[in-house]
Amino acid sequence: MRTPFRFLALARARTAALFVAALALAPGCAKEPDLVVYCALDQIFAEDLVREFEQRTGLVVRAEFDVEAAKTVGLVARLREERNRPRCDVFWNNEIAHTVALAKDGLLAPYASPSASDIPAAFRDASNLWTGFAARARVLIVNTEQVDPSTLHGLADLVDPKWKGKTCMARPLTGTTLTHATALYASKGVEATEGWLDELAAGGVNFVQSNGQVMRMVREGSMAFGLTDTDDYWVAKQAGFPVAQVVPDQRDAAHQDAPGTFLIPNTICLLKNAPRPDAGRRFIDFVLSREVEAKLAAADGAQIPLRAGVPKPEHVLDIERLTLIPVDWNLVGEQISARMEQLKGRFLQ
């Protein structure tokens, strides 16, 4: 026999179900998105562009962002978990190596965006699985109250004995720092890269959680200088902190053999079996436009246009004037997952 309490519980459950159904049908409730984008670029830099795309197209976009400490890696893990039933249509990555790895693992669909026709071939996949745009450079951020920037030239300065204990970089476990380390493994080999990491540790370099933490420690003076990205430097500079940037290892009359700096573009790609591929292609066309690359250059992130002639503020680096470290992105993409596990053993012990 059903007790009055069970009748009451069933009645409440039915009422709750009807209420939820009514909410779903009510005018003004959030509608199902026309497009889902996973975005590893900082939300503060990307969100306005997503909203602009919505206004232009009338499409509703659900953008899901990563957190600073797990940059890129968290979203990539989700894409892999969802590969058999994708939720996401477009992945906007703030770096490139994990995007290449996704392509090699068969998670991406080809799309040759007309907006990408003038992006240099070095930053486009040969099979149109991904496209690079709007890059950052790896630079030294310097506290000018502690160091004269003109006395610094490159990454070797991080281990100068006179600065022992006063320099820093992010642990190479996520984001651009992991990509940078993996590129060094790919280009210089295991012995040379392991030797460099050993030298950094022995030289008193402080390994911290993120590029953002590097920026904050330098701007506030607890560190003299550190290795970070151009966007982090410019955020500190714009906020009025006493900082300067040094683009490392550029060739000049005194440094003819300098290897150059490391440039890391954003990338964008369409997911294989994306639920909403047409909307995804429209979004990719929008993001890869010269107009958006110019807006990313003018924003606080100071992203570096990959194309000649894209308008940019004077403080944004000019790709045509930089000495860049050459990178085989396919090799980096092949290695990055294994290098991440290897580096966890070094930095998380």
What per-residue confidence (pLDDT) applies to 344? Answer: 94
CATH number, domain 35-134+265-317: 3.40.190.10
What per-residue confidence (pLDDT) applies to 71? Answer: 52
Q: Do domains 35-134+265-317 and 136-262 have the same CATH topology?
A: yes
CB of 90 closer than 8 Å to CB of 37? yes
**Is the pLDDT confidence value at 77 over 80?**
yes
What per-residue confidence (pLDDT) applies to 73? Answer: 74
Q: What is the amino acid identity at position 338?
A: A
What per-residue confidence (pLDDT) applies to 335? Answer: 93
Signed CA dihedral, 247, 251, 256, 259: sign only: positive
Classify residue 248 by its DSSP letter.
Answer: T
Q: Between 86 and 2, where is the model more confident?
A: 86
**Is the pLDDT confidence value at 29 over 70?**
no
Burial (0-12, 13-18, 19+ Cβ within 10 Å), 57: middle
Instruction: Tell me the C-alpha distance between 253 and 110, whole Å.
Output: 44
**What is 327-340 written as a DSSP string?**
--HHHHHHHHHHHH
CATH number, domain 136-262: 3.40.190.10
Estimate the share of the chain in helix, then strand, then coil, as percent rounded to the nearest 5.
45, 15, 35
Residue-wise burial string across 217-241, b where 16 or more C-beta atoms lie within 10 A, e elsewhere: bbbeeebbbbbbbbbbbbbbbeeeb
Question: What is the pTM assigned to this prediction?
Answer: 0.85
Average pLDDT over residues 317-326: 93
- Retrieve residue 20's tokens: 């939820």
Reduced to 3 states, what is the DSSP secondary structure of residue 252? strand
**Is the pLDDT confidence value at 92 over 50?**
yes
Which residues neighbour 92 within 8 Å (Cβ) at sequence distance 6 or greater? 37, 38, 39, 40, 41, 46, 266, 267, 268, 287
Domain ranges of the chain: 1-30, 35-134+265-317, 136-262
